[in-house]
Every structure is written in structure tokens, then in C-alpha cells.
Amino acid sequence: MALFWNDFTNFAGFKGMIILSMRRAILVSMIFSGLVSCKNEIVVLAPYKNIPVVYCLLNPKDSVHYLRLEKSFLGEDNAYEMARNSDSIYYQSASVFLERWADGRMMEQFSLARVQIQERDSGNFSNNPNFLYQTSAPILGSSEYHLKINIPSISSEITARTHTVSDFKVVKPEAFKKNLPFSSYDNYQAIEWISTPYTRLYHLIIRFHYLEVKNSDTTNLSLDWNIGQYLSKNGTGGELMKTEILQRDFYKWLGNKLNKPAAGIQRLADKKAVDFVFTVGGEELYTYMEVYQEDSGILKEKPVFTNIVNGIGLFSSRYIQTVAGKSLSEHSIDSLAYGIYTKTLRFADSQNDYYYTGF
């Protein structure tokens, strides 16, 4: 199962993962596309029991927080017909609570309401109705959260706990420097940050903003450059982490991503052309990805990771931090216009009126 950190920003859409048990027992869990993209795979589980399936990622920056709760099912009917029956994958009722704890004491508790959202992607499974549990209660960073779920048809309470991720310090690029001097192909841009507690894995992209202008029409566009993933030594925080990018690679990447525009279209680098976007996941999410990272095919049994007590799934945290709005220097803009990798892409040079007066 391949996991793509670039998809973390969108939690509302969900993809399916099938876990087939022995013979006709099928455990269905739906993993959000904001977290992963998956292929169907087989894991042998026995004996069969009623197992709740729970997925939830808390993000302190989100205004609404979602949890998916579904169930395993077993029957004598055709497995794919059962999967299309919403009664086979949803519990009729459940009480779902989040609690914030500090110093061994519960500080607050709030419930999640069951809601129906837009249909999930069509496929082998019921896509309508599409039920989630949600709350708009604020989630604090660097805090301990407990999950509690009570289902009338199950005697045991389903529980989990996690620590939320929060802001961390980005050392380079420096906040006070507004321009990025990407003009020399052979120079490097340093990127440094201090790790934050309760996480191990950091994913970095550079987002490039540009405009396409035709007559009086202007279209704002952007492209994401995947820089890589970086692993801290532990989850305690305070570690200086760093990487660097060869400036030549920025122009080579852009030259490969864009084609020559249609006749009459002029491109311009946005005045705030570059964002550095860090996506960070909680420690449980790191372990989950380690377990499921290698796609070894549907016939090979793989270990099952879960931090859900009396269920299976994942309860963890994520966080997106952005150093936004860095401008390209005049020489960098001229390199876009005339450089060997991008000269056919029809970017305007630094003398264009846009950089002095705007539109």
C-alpha cells in the first residue's frame, strides 16, 4: 500500500481498504484519501468477531474534526453485495467522545455528532449514505486527547489516546527575508527547522505560485514540488533538522512540469511566489506508515497496526505549517525568463510592469 503525504491536506474524501479474512469473513474499513491512497490487500484474521473500525486524525488548525466509525461484517451472502449494503458497515447508534487530559486529569469532554456528508467515491462499497462523526470544538496543540466510543451492541468500550502536534520553529528560510535568491544554478537553499514533540516524520513541499495572462484575463495557478520526507531521531522534540536544495533543480523541475503555453498567454511568477509547506504526523501515524509502506502484493500477509483498544484503526494527529509568500529576486525572475531550463515557458522578466504596478 503506497502512502502519499501530499494527500494529507484533504480529509473529507475517503478511499476504501478491503481486509479479507479467511473464507467469507470480510472486514471493511474506509481510510480517508487525506491520509493515504491504498490498493486492496488481504490480511488473514481469525477467528471472526465484531470489530469496530475507527480512523481519526486531529489537526489543531482545523475548524471541524471528523472521525470515521464502521464495522466488520460476516455473512453467507456474496461479499461484494454485503459491502454495498450500508447496514453491513455502519452501526445503528454509537456515542463518541473526545477528552483533553493534562497532568492525569480530564480537563474537558465533548461529543461528536453523526453527520452525513457527500457520497464517497463509487466502487465495491456502499457510497450512500456516507456517515462520519464530527465536532467543531477547538483542538489544542501539544495536548493529550483520549477517544471513547460506546456502541450498544458491543459490551466493551472502544478507546484510544494520542498527543496532538503543534507549531515548530522554522530556522531557514528566515522569516525576515522576503526574497529568495534562486538566481545561481550552483548555489543551495538551506532549509532548517526544530522538531516538535510527539512526532517523527516531516514531509516538505515547495509550492510555486504563478499567473497566466491572456488579454485582460488573469488565472492564478500553483505547482507543488515534492522535496522529501525527513525522520527525527525521536519524538521528544528539540532536534535541529535540515536539508538543502540545489537551485538548479528548481528550474529543472519547473521545466519538466510545465509545457509551452498556448499562443497569446504570458506567464509571470507571483509576487509571493514560493511557499515552504511542512506536513507533520503524530507518532502513531509514523508507525502506521512504517507498517504499511511497502506494497508487497495482495497475496502476502502483512502485520496489522492499530492503536485502538477493542477495535482496529488509527487515532493520531497531523499538522501543516507553512512559511508562505517568499518572493523571487529580480535575477531569479530573469532566470525563469531566459534560463536554459525554462526559457520556452514564456515567463516575463523582472522588468514587466506587473512587478512595479501590478494589474
Mean pLDDT of the residues in the chain: 82
Q: Burial of 358 by CB count in 10 Å (0-12 exposed, 13-18 middle, 19+ buried)? A: exposed
For 295-313, b/e burial (b = at least 16 CB within 10 A) is eeeeeeebeeebbbebbbb
Residue 258 pLDDT class (50, 70, 90 cuts): very high
Quote the pLDDT of residue 147: 98
Helix (H) or strand (E) holding 262: none
Residue-wise pLDDT for 88-98, tens only, equals: 688 999 999 99
Query: Which phi and psi angles does 89 have, rounded to 5°?
Result: -120, -10
pTM score, two decimals?
A: 0.79
281 and 201 in contact (C-beta within 8 Å)? yes
Whether the Cβ atoms of residue 342 and residue 252 lie closer than 8 Å to each other: no
- Other C-beta atoms lying within 10 Å of the C-beta of residue 57: 25
Decide if pLDDT at 183 tops 50.
yes
> Kind of pairing, strands 312-328 and 52-58?
parallel
* pLDDT, position 13: 33
Burial (CB count within 10 angstroms: exposed 0-12, middle 13-18, buried 19+), residue 43: middle
Report the C-alpha gap between 83 and 91 in whole angstroms. Answer: 14
Helix (H), strand (E) at residue 106: strand 105-116
